Amino acid sequence: MPQSIDFKGVVFAPIAGYSDVGARKVSAMRGADMTYTEMVSAKGLVYGSEKTEDLLRTTDSEKIKCVQIFGSEPYYISKAVEHKALEKFDVIDINMGCPVPKIVKNGEGSALLENIPLAQEIVRSAKVVGKPVTVKYRLGVNAQNIIAVDFGKAMQDAGASAITVHGRTREQMYAGKADWQEIAKVKKAVNIPVFVNGDIVDKTSYQEAMTATGCDGAMIARGALGNPKIFSDIKGIDIENYSLKQDILTHLNTMLEFHHPNFVACNFKKHLAYYCRGMRGQRQIKLDAYASKTIDDIRRVIDRYF
């Protein structure tokens, strides 16, 4: 476990259904400085849900391991961070940006943007184990209520070690353009490290985002799906004879080390749909990927097209 964490660099985002142990491993191998699990329920952890623990597999390839939890009750947050399954993680990130109605309805995710005192209490509750606590949030609920600067300051006051700001509002979900200018205001207003998030898809957009915001680091979600090489491209790491197929197989085989083959076969289809992005004949590749039923079917698709 790193002694003290330098919050900077290019990091692989928490993405529900995608930031699995294999995706995190290939991202880290290609240069991601930190890697996040997808959001896991604090309550789910406390009540011993096996499905929740399954999302928390890691490998030693991950340099700085971050677990993202969500919840609205400080009690469950403080219990969850003490859970054995979280021991191996270096950083605890709290989700305060998820716009999904099911989550918001429970007062979790981006609902916390509307309750700053509770959001602060949650950060303080997560600090009980002494690990750095970070927060990922959105600009506000909607364009009329941009609160990113005040929220960032409040998270800093509550003891957050760093923040990631996704440059969209809850109402925007994933549509429209991320507003990096609002993130720049947050960076100016706080003393803790800030990560810019939203619409970074290559080295050019990374450089633009960093210049526009002056942030300490950048978080990449969709731009890294099917494209782990984005991290080495951004960092200027030259990989001799790069093989996407090798990354795909590492991803697949890592998942198989930890999960049931049926689960992996089902989950890997959507990764293949990203891995073939931009390739000729991608429509047919996706059809074949989605028609796969077993790991052997998945391997046949990989061998045929990559």
Closer to ligand FMN by Cβ: residue 200 or 252: 200
**Inter-axis angle of helices 261-275 and 295-305, to 10 degrees?**
20
Least spacing, CB of residue 29 vs ligand FMN, in Å: 19
Least spacing, CB of residue 134 vs ligand FMN, in Å: 11
Least spacing, CB of residue 217 vs ligand FMN, in Å: 13
Does residue 126 contact residue 40 with C-beta atoms inside 8 Å?
no
Known catalytic residues are: 98
Least spacing, CB of residue 44 vs ligand FMN, in Å: 13
Does residue 129 contact residue 101 with C-beta atoms inside 8 Å?
no
Residue nearest to ligand FMN (CB): 221
Does residue 157 contact residue 190 with C-beta atoms inside 8 Å?
no
Closer to ligand FMN by Cβ: residue 127 or 168: 168
Give the whole-angstrom CA distance, residue 270 versus residue 103. Answer: 23
Helices in 83-147 by DSSP H: which ranges?
Answer: 101-105, 116-126
Q: Which two three-digit tokens encode residue 252?
A: 């697949």
Does residue 86 contact residue 80 with C-beta atoms inside 8 Å?
yes
Closer to ligand FMN by Cβ: residue 127 or 166: 166
Closer to ligand FMN by Cβ: residue 63 or 222: 222
**Which residues contribute to the site for ligand FMN (CB under 6 A)?**
13-17, 38-39, 68, 95, 97-98, 136, 166, 174, 197-200, 220-223
Give the whole-angstrom CA distance, residue 119 versus residue 154. Answer: 9
- The secondary element (H helix, E strand) that includes residue 41 is strand 40-41
